[in-house]
Structure 1
Amino acid sequence: MKDSTVVLRTYKYRLYPSKSQETNLFRVLHACHGLYNMALAERKYAWQLERVHVPTKKLNDLGKHYRKTFPYAQQMHSQTTQSVIEQVDEAYEGFFRRVKNGEKPGYPRFKPRQQFHSFEFKQYGSGCKIDGRRLKIYGVGRVRVRWHREVLGKIKLVRIKHQAGEWYACFVCEVPRKHTVTSDWEIGIDVGISALLTTSEGEKVENPNYYRNGQAKLRRLSRKLARAKRGSKNRQKALQAVQSQHQHIANQRHDFIHKLTHTITDIYGWVAIEDLAIRNMVRNHHLSKSILDSGWGLFKEQLQYKAAEAGLQLKLVNPRKTTLKCSNCPREFTNLTLKDRWVECPCGLSLDRDHNAAINILKQAGWATSVVANVECG
């Protein structure tokens, strides 16, 4: 049974392995990659040839055999082996669930080495634990860590990650809910492209456009990568430079949204946002880059976990017609295009389009009493 008094939080720390430790980290990572593809092949061929599912126990036995017989696989901990098998199971469960729902998902694919970036220890203390100021990792040794903040709560899982040429340890922890909310203030939030968000109070937060602002440098680095000879050290350096730039952009976006969501959850006790199907929206090639650069998904994700931790009310409302409805009367706007940034209604409402949508979002949450007091009405 899920404990409602705690929430999961992830704390991420930079690792500084020695050369020999980094070699061992790569060996474990590559062994995990090999096991993933082997377990996937076992399930794939069993289904294609005999139309049968391979039991998890049989895949776990495969993992044990793999650790005993394949090069460097003995450096994998049994917890890590089990985690890889579970990744394969999850990929198949997701595939069959989507088929059952009438979708047409792609069959689980074999992963190339460069797309396999992490491995896990499913139980803290079993194969991986904090040892003084270092992190003791099975098959690797005691690795230096930059502890920029305290690890809070009960550690449930440790994930070792290779990202843009750097190594990280991610601790997934159970922390008590804070229940710090004392505010009765309500707010509706509409996310957008030019303005990242507009509130039901009429406040706008402009989109910082980190990807677009960093695109020129990214193009230069990508051209340098394209010119580098395959297999050369220069190509490896150029690839790492491209990855580092992507990571820098992602870090900027993450930091901005972290501060923004922290401010929202500090001030308001009741927050309503649209439950947007972002995966479907990015299929629009004209808007996909702008949507992904805005970080709508990250905003929703961070708001959800911070709301749960603080004990505030977060309502995800149906986005249908929040833009088309007048927030002051039952009428709907007709022939509204993306270029129309201002809406006017015969009832007298004259308002910024996104502000109107944010008011509708708050009203749809079912909390608001009178939220149109400060808009222009004739």
Structure 2
Amino acid sequence: MGYRAYQYRLYPNKRQTQDLLNLLAVGRHYYNMCLDLWRYVYLTEKRRPTSQEFEVMRKGYKKTIPAARGVHSHVFQGLAKRAEEAFQGFFRRVKAGEAPGYPRYKSLDRFHAIEFKQFGNGVAIDGRRVRISGVGRVRVRWHRPMQGTAKTAEIVHKAGQWFVVFTCEVPDQPELPKTGQVVGLDLGVAALFTTSDGDKVDHPKFYQQSQKRLRVLNRALARKKKGGKNRRKAKQRLQRHHHHIQNQRLDYAHKLSYALVQHYDLIALEELKVKNMVRNKHLSKSILDAGWSIFTKLLTNKAVEAGRQVLFVNPAYTSKTCSNCGALFEDLTLADRWVECRCGLSLDRDHNAARNILKQALRLWDAEVRRNVAGSPDASVPRKPLALPMGSVTAGCHVWN
């Protein structure tokens, strides 16, 4: 069994919108109190708070705060769990020698979701609507059927819009039939990635294409008086446009990852540390706009469901090594977009890197399986054209052996 999330847009009326905002306000305040309890108990007694202490705090909170009396108990339990996870993550990062990132209080702009840990208890489907405890029956747009058994529900507020997210337990999907195809992908900025077959997949640059509109919205926000109603509206318009860009990037990544998983038995990529790479001020915006992290995450998840394999290899010298004879191009710089070797190889540097990535992955892959797929020297399976979203593939340069 596996888990899958389904997100649907909510359309609350004015009263329901105010009730949902009150629910978020209570949740934010209680979450900050949970952080306070963690700090106090750990600093004074060097231990974690017990569930009994959280229960005493919850009962006292509901008695003293009138707005909290109609809030479901599962909401408070979920908030206590979130605070615990925040501190566990903090302790884990300290132990690993990473940047600790001490848990912070949540402001109005940083608290967007309330979780109900048990579907049917606090949140339930009532006909064509969703019934939320303390809010009522809210209209929903069911844009696709929900599969499996719903286990949890989450109410999310993003850019002035409301959503409900159901986490469902779904049966394991049957594995896709083997295609006999393998591929290496070299992620980039000019092109989202280049395949070991020589194809380049376009980088749509959704954020860069929206720069003009974002400048207009940012200027409009800067002109509004702080604390005013018009400033709040201008901020919401800006948030909504950023949310639109995020949805564009996510949709494109879903389509690309689906096409790759349908087509290839093995997909090889470089194990890139994106957090370190975005420190380069000249490339950070382009790298983040490319959405490498979300693309690789979706690709990995889809591959697991379909019985495919995604392998990450060491990125060192993938561009500077000849994919034909293994010679090292010591003088190669980022400005050099074409590589030529004494062995006769002449091709695009990203294509060369993708071939090296695939070679490394094939060495890691099971030898018995490798004999039956394309990409190995004795492979007899012909290459099939890759069907990707329209307009995303440009013809690549192929090596002549």
* TM value normalised by structure 1: 0.93
Partner Cα separation in structure 1 for residue 303 and residue 317 of structure 2: 26
Aligned to 2:113: 118
Aligned to 2:240: 244
1:206-225 matched pairs, under 5 angstroms: 206-225=202-221
The structural deviation recorded for 1:179 is: 2.7
Is it true that 1:291 corresponds to 2:319 in the alignment?
Answer: no
Aligned to 1:16: 11
Partner Cα separation in structure 2 for residue 356 and residue 171 of structure 1: 43
Partner Cα separation in structure 2 for residue 195 and residue 241 of structure 1: 30
Q: Deviations over 1:102-150 (max 9, x none)?
A: 1232211111111100011111111111111000111111100000110
Structure 1 gap ranges (5+)? 1-5
3-state secondary structure, aligned to 1:75: coil
Aligned to 1:282: 278
The structural deviation recorded for 1:377 is: 5.3
3-state secondary structure, aligned to 2:69: helix
The structural deviation recorded for 1:181 is: 1.6
1:224-235 matched pairs, under 5 angstroms: 224-235=220-231
Is it true that 1:340 corresponds to 2:336 in the alignment?
Answer: yes
| Of 343, 359, 362, the match for 2:355 | 359
Q: Given that residues 200 and 371 in structure 1 are in contact (C-alpha distance below 8 angstroms), is that contact kept between their aligned partners in structure 2?
A: no
The structural deviation recorded for 1:198 is: 0.8
Count of matched residue positions in the alignment of Structure 1 and Structure 2: 373
| Of 192, 195, 215, the match for 1:196 | 192
Partner Cα separation in structure 2 for residue 45 and residue 323 of structure 1: 53
Q: Deviations over 1:301-335 (max 9, x none)?
A: 11112112212122222323322222112322213
* TM value normalised by structure 2: 0.88
Aligned to 1:3: none
Aligned to 2:376: 369
The structural deviation recorded for 1:16 is: 0.4
The structural deviation recorded for 1:40 is: 0.6
1:265-344 matched pairs, under 5 angstroms: 265-344=261-340
Partner Cα separation in structure 2 for residue 26 and residue 371 of structure 1: 63
Whichever residue aligns with residue 283 of structure 1, its letter is R
Whichever residue aligns with residue 338 of structure 2, its letter is W
Partner Cα separation in structure 2 for residue 42 and residue 143 of structure 1: 34
Partner Cα separation in structure 2 for residue 17 and residue 37 of structure 1: 27
Structure 2 gap ranges (5+)? 363-369, 384-396
Aligned residues: CA RMSD: 2.0
Aligned to 1:177: 172
Whichever residue aligns with residue 143 of structure 1, its letter is V
Q: Deviations over 1:173-231 (max 9, x none)?
A: 12223234211211111111010011111111110000010011111101110110112
Note closer, same or farther for the CA distance 1:316–1:173 as it changes in structure 2 (3 Å cut). farther
Partner Cα separation in structure 1 for residue 247 and residue 99 of structure 2: 34
Detail structure 1 runs of 4+ shifted over 6 Å in the superposition. 371-374
| Of 133, 147, 157, the match for 2:128 | 133
| Of 153, 160, 168, the match for 1:165 | 160
Q: Given that residues 282 and 291 in structure 1 are in contact (C-alpha distance below 8 angstroms), is that contact kept between their aligned partners in structure 2?
A: yes
